[in-house]
Amino acid sequence: MKVDPARTLRMGGFGLLLYGPMQHYWYTLLGHRFPLRTASHFLTKVLLNSFVLGPSVGSVAFAWTLGIQGKPHLIAGKIEADLLETLLTGWKFWIPVSISNFCWIPVDKQVLYMSACSLVWSAYLSYACNKEAPQAR
Global confidence as pTM: 0.86
Residue 134 predicted with pLDDT over 70: no
Separation CA 94–CA 117 (nearest Å): 9
**Is residue 79 a contact partner of residue 62, using CB atoms and an 8 Å limit?**
yes
φ, ψ dihedrals at 20, nearest 5°: -60, -55
Alpha helices in 1-137 (DSSP H): 5-13, 20-33, 39-48, 54-68, 75-104, 110-130
Q: Among candidates 15, 21, 12, 137, which has minimal Cα distance to 76?
A: 137
Label residue 124 by pLDDT band (50, 70, 90): very high
How far is residue 37's CA from residue 56's CA, in Å, rounded to a whole number? 25
Nearest Cα neighbor of 9 from 96, 130, 132 is: 130
Kindly report, residue by residue over 22-47, the tens digit of the pLDDT. Answer: 988 998 899 899 999 899 999 999 99
